[in-house]
A and B are shown apart, each in its own frame.
Chain A
């Protein structure tokens, strides 16, 4: 057992760049969507709130894998243009986790004390200044733990691109499993895969904890 590490691990790691790219693309899209949708849900204009709410509930109410199938298999037959598998996977990841993260943004913005907003108004700040200089910097600190957890979930979610035949680490492991049918080899392959995901997630966890500490510096807590 565990004697084929020199052969198996490099083969799995060839999918690493796909996993990382899917994660980065998904995260960039997710957090852009999260900020837009999160702020839109606190907007004064009802139509903006309603559109954002429908978007968020649609992506939170269905399943990530179903959404991935939709982008990969349904979307190409509806749209007049084709999208790559990578784009399909990335869009599903970004939309799904963006919808979840928008709740984190919304919650954080709402948790900034009303007095802060009033103080900014009394200083004659414009709406945009208020958001940029007073509300968001404080909300950001509250968001960090949620955003960190969401990022770990997103990283785990990238393994689903296996289903749409994107050659990520999980997909590479599956190919390897097909070629090595002995039980011990299969256990070995998936053990390496599990630990690789763990090793990638670890810096993410540590970074989140460090950021939380940094962000709470100089802030008095009850």
Chain B
């Protein structure tokens, strides 16, 4: 089978149309993982041991099982739209990864910051909000950016529960015309074109964040 440009141009708009669904699912899942990830991190740090152990167990379980199986589980157990199911499952799955990133950020804040806040009579909530998180989040932003790309590349999974994202459309074209070469290659090309420049940009940010004041590399001298 050889590449058929005419066919490729004919189906390109159909696949490109589905890019909205792909990006929508990515953004929705990313928003869930950023917020839920923070909640998980804070719960895991709770001084109430049973709670922190329970949360740690849940995180391990989610991280160690395939997102595809989680997708099927939620899809068949709850009556939700495929799109919503996909966004929630991917969001929750990657929240467990994102929470590790937050944890590394929080652990990089020196303990003396807690002591200083206590000396100033700040409440715990106030300390988190005004002292710890503003110092913990900015250095890990590039790492968080990585998960946006990871999520983007995971969205083809959603074709498993009939979300019409790019790969699902390509597969439909393929089974209608018996030509998979063009649709699958176009999908791969679109993923590459969108994710590679973003990855380069994040690598650039990562390099730069090493030079920001307050980061662990420079600025903080003991």
Shortest Cβ distance from A77 into B: residue: B1
Assess whether B68 is interfacial by the CB under 8 Å rule. yes
Interface size on A, residues (CB 8 A): 41
Q: Are A77 and B76 in contact (CB under 8 A)?
A: no
The answer to whether B192 touches A159 (Cβ under 8 A) is no
Bound CA–CA A67/B170 (angstroms)? 13
Across the interface, which residues of A come within 8 angstroms of B76, CB to CB? 177, 183, 186-187, 190
Partner of B72, one of A190, A198, A205: A190
Q: Is the CB of A64 within 8 A of B153?
A: yes
Contact A66 B184 (CB under 8 A): yes
Query: How far is A94 from B171 in the complex, measured between Cα atoms in Å?
Result: 23
Partner of A63, one of B68, B160, B174, B191: B191
| B residues neighboring A (CB under 8 Å) | 1, 60-61, 63-70, 72-73, 76-77, 153-157, 159-160, 167, 170-171, 174, 180-181, 184-185, 187-188, 191-192, 195-196, 199
Interface of B is mostly: helix
Q: Report yes or no: B66 in contact with A74, Cβ–Cβ below 8 A.
A: no
Q: With contacts A66-B184, A183-B77 known, what are 14 further pairs, Cβ within 8 A?
A: A61-B192, A63-B155, A65-B156, A66-B187, A69-B167, A73-B174, A156-B64, A156-B65, A158-B66, A173-B72, A174-B72, A194-B61, A197-B69, A202-B64
**Which B residues lie within 8 Å of A77 (CB)?**
1, 180-181
Which chain B residue shows the least CB distance to A19?
B66
Cα–Cα, bound, A58→B191 (Å)? 10
Does the CB pair A156–B191 fall under 8 Å? no
* Most chain B CB within a 10 A radius of its CB, from A156, A174, A202: A156
> How far is A152 from B160 in the complex, measured between Cα atoms in Å?
21
Taken together as a complex, chains A and B put the C-alpha atoms of A65 and B159 apart, in Å, by 10
Q: Are B171 and A69 in contact (CB under 8 A)?
A: yes
Instruction: Give the chain B neighbours of A67 by CB distance below 8 A.
Output: 188
Interface membership of chain A positions 44-85, coded 1 if the CB is closer than 8 angstroms to chain B and 0 otherwise: 000000000000011011111111011001100110000000
Number of A-B contacts (CB under 8 A): 113
B154: chain A residues at CB < 8 Å are 63
Contacts of B195 in A (CB 8 A): 61-62
A112 within 8 Å of B (CB atoms): no
Q: Nearest 7 A-B pairs (CB), nearest first?
A: A73-B180, A159-B66, A190-B73, A65-B156, A77-B1, A186-B76, A156-B66
| B188, A170: Cβ atoms closer than 8 Å | no
